[in-house]
Structure 1
Amino acid sequence: MTPAVAPAQPPSSPPSVAALVLAAGGGRRLGGRPKALLPFRGRPLVEHAVRVVREGGCAPVLVVLGAARAQVLAEADLTGCTVVANPDWAEGMGGSLRAGLAALPPHCPGVLVFLVDTPGVTPAAVARLLAAHRSGAALAAAGYAGRRGHPVLIGADHLAEAAAGAQGDAGARALLTRRQAELQLVECGDIAVPDDLDTPADLARWSAGQHRDGPRAWPVGPGSP
């Protein structure tokens, strides 16, 4: 009898770039409302951020929570996400970035860092950064009229340096400044809006739909990397 031959296994696909959604902020300038739970199109803002990075092509998706973490988990649908707790969220964005980087899966080729309070960043902008990475960019950032903004993509070779430099509220700024010569700026001003939600006036503008006229090169705010 001829022995059975096992069917050939399809080659495994290479690991994809992960997304790290930083959503731990307490919204101090927004009256203490956690940014993850700000209303956006009828749902918590963190759900919108997760949808954007997924549709842009990132996997897996990690979400760093801090302020009101239990409430966020109860009210937001984070199905399929890896939730990372940052008990020291009040120290600033740096702690959230460190916590998220420490939770990345092994052999991750890179991570796209996405701020939860940038609702004008689109899946198309995420996809452009991923395309730049596939073309060889070890560091990439969305550009708006030539100015660096969000999101930011950090390749595997720079993850340890990013974590070491993530202090206070600076996030990846130290890395991007030090490695400026290696950073590829990917223009996204035609497909995304870089505004972040920091004040009640910012939230009111978004809630009133004043940004629905399409993406344009808005000034990059203080939350920029």
Structure 2
Amino acid sequence: MTGIIILAAGSSSRMGKAKQNLLFRGQTLLQNAINTAFGSHSDIIAVVLGANALNISSTIGTSNIQVFVNEDWALGMGTSISYGLKELLKIQPEISSVLFMLTDQPLVDQNFINQLIEKATPGKIVASAYNNTLGPPVLFDNSFFDDLLKMRGNEGAKKILQKYSNAVVELPFPEGAFDVDTPDDYDRLVNS
């Protein structure tokens, strides 16, 4: 059983407004991520909100998703990772793997998410490979849940990828290098 957690708690400081609500192909970036997750072979989907939670939650538009609000979002992404997983396990304690997605990677599609899920193996992490690095979307087997639940501050999951580098399965995804952090990034996205 695979759960997907969409991390959408950040304040979008470099964008100057909530990038989760920016429009792309007739929907918000967050809706795009949610629809991608719903089109995949996952069993349960959650979104972690934080900054601008009220404004963003009103755009989610589906009741088939778990919405968690991380009150400690300002302390960094690590808190959203650990909080999201903790809350998801309360609802679905038998999940065997969790996949983390970001709202600002609009080129992630359901086929790629399904490839990550299909590569899930006990004791392994399946990570996207782009720009000579590993990153999200990334899927963790439940043997890594304790490490994820201990995450704090600004540390992302890359720390766990480095710690368990021998357990990482790389899946090439050059499109993962494009994310929407600044107004220029967004202009490139909508004009491409």
TM-score, normalised by the number of residues in structure 1 = 0.79
1:194 maps to which residue? Answer: 177
For 2:110, the aligned partner's letter is P
For 2:163, the aligned partner's letter is R
Three-state SS of the structure 2 residue aligned to 1:18 is: strand
RMSD value over aligned CA atoms? Answer: 1.6
Q: Equivalents in 1 of 2:119, 2:185: separation in Å? A: 31
Structure 1 runs, 4 residues or longer, greater than 4 Å off: none
2:64 maps to which residue? Answer: 80
Q: Equivalents in 1 of 2:100, 2:127: separation in Å? A: 10
Report the Cα offset of residue 90 of structure 1.
1.4
Q: Equivalents in 2 of 1:55, 1:116: separation in Å? A: 15
Higher strand proportion (structure 1 or 2)? 2
Q: How many residues align?
A: 189
TM-score, normalised by the number of residues in structure 2 = 0.91
For 1:20, the aligned partner's letter is I
Contact 1:56 1:124 in 2 (8 A): yes
Report the Cα offset of residue 23 of structure 1.
0.5
Partner of residue 28 from structure 1, selected from 13, 17, 28 = 13
Higher RCO, 1 vs 2 (CA within 8 Å, ≥6 residues apart):
2
Q: Measured at CA, do residues 193 and 176 of structure 1 come closer, stay the same or move farther in structure 2, by a change above 3 Å?
A: closer
- Mapping 1:14-53, distance limit 5 Å: 16-31=1-16, 33-53=17-37
Partner of residue 58 from structure 1, selected from 38, 42, 50 = 42
For 2:189, the aligned partner's letter is W
Question: Whose Rg is larger?
Answer: 1
Q: Equivalents in 1 of 2:78, 2:19: separation in Å? A: 16
- Mapping 1:88-99, distance limit 5 Å: 88-99=72-83
Report the Cα offset of residue 168 of structure 1.
2.1
In structure 1, stretches of 5+ residues that fail to align are 1-15, 210-225
Q: Does 1:110 align with 2:85?
A: no
Partner of residue 160 from structure 2, selected from 156, 175, 185 = 175
Report the Cα offset of residue 146 of structure 1.
5.5
Q: Equivalents in 2 of 1:137, 1:194: separation in Å? A: 26
Q: Does 1:204 align with 2:187?
A: yes
Q: Measured at CA, do residues 155 and 200 of structure 1 come closer, stay the same or move farther in structure 2, by a change above 3 Å?
A: same
Contact 1:36 1:46 in 2 (8 A): yes
Q: Measured at CA, do residues 71 and 139 of structure 1 come closer, stay the same or move farther in structure 2, by a change above 3 Å?
A: same
Higher helix proportion (structure 1 or 2)? 2
Q: Measured at CA, do residues 46 and 61 of structure 1 come closer, stay the same or move farther in structure 2, by a change above 3 Å?
A: same
Contact 1:137 1:184 in 2 (8 A): no
1:138 maps to which residue? Answer: 124
2:139 maps to which residue? Answer: 153
Instruction: Please give the per-residue CA displacement for 1:16-48, whole angstroms capped at 9, x wherever unaligned.
Output: 2000000111110011x1232122222221110
In structure 2, stretches of 5+ residues that fail to align are none
